[in-house]
Structure 1
Amino acid sequence: GRHISTAQRTISTTSQRHFENKGPEKQKLFQEDNGMPVHLKGRASDALLYRATMALTVGGTGCVIYVLAMAAFPKKQN
């Protein structure tokens, strides 16, 4: 059992080191006071995801309002 614990220890220490190096860079990026909202401070993919979410939200809201209006005022069939 001694060999397994050594291997696990090696894996956990290397992964910790990997995260420690990236942490301060990310903190600097997100704490920078450049007037940007936090959800757009990341990469371009963040902005793209935000725009897609807003488009879906606005589109979905429009659809719901349209369907509700059609249900509220049904066309009279003669």
Structure 2
Amino acid sequence: MLTQDSELVPVPAWRFAFLAFSCRGWWSITAKMLRNLLALRQIGQRTISTTSRTHFKNRVAEKQKLFQEEDGIPVYLKGGIVDVILYRATMILTVGGAAYAIYQLAVASFPKKQD
């Protein structure tokens, strides 16, 4: 407590020097981090560009002509042998899965007899 007779004791200036140094150090570290972050952003913008290096031929018109042609082949098989293989594999898995599900339902509906 301070009384009317007591004086305020002056605080030496060296005690505030640490505070000033620590704040200045904090700002310099923050500035370095910000510079590094901006440099990293610029590097990312340079390496990732929106233009492609290899130019592909536009084959959309060819594919449209192929898929819109009336030749009696379903559209999901017009892509060639890969489409045929994928279609058949899907059908086999679908039919096999349905048969297995029905089998498991039949097994579950007839419980084993207790001896």
TM-score above 0.5, yes or no: yes
Instruction: Give TM-score scaled by structure 1 length.
Output: 0.75
- Is structure 2 residue 93 aligned with structure 1 residue 53? no
Structure showing greater Rg = 2
Taking every aligned residue pair, what percent have the same amino acid on both sides? 54
Query: Which stretches of structure 1, 4 residues or more, deviate above 3 A after TM superposition?
Result: none
For structure 1, which runs of at least 5 residues remain unmatched after alignment?
none
* Bigger proportion of residues as helix: 1
Listed as ranges, the matches of 1:1-78 within 5 Å are 8-9=50-51, 11=52, 14-15=55-56, 18=57, 20=58, 22-78=59-115
By relative contact order (CA 8 Å, sep 6+), the higher-ranking structure is 1
For structure 2, which runs of at least 5 residues remain unmatched after alignment?
1-45
- 1:8: Cα distance to partner? 4.5
What is the rounded CA distance, in whole Å, between the counterparts of 1:77 and 1:37 in structure 2? 54
What is the rounded CA distance, in whole Å, between the counterparts of 1:37 and 1:72 in structure 2? 40
Instruction: Give TM-score scaled by structure 2 length.
Output: 0.52
Q: Cα RMSD over matched residues?
A: 2.3
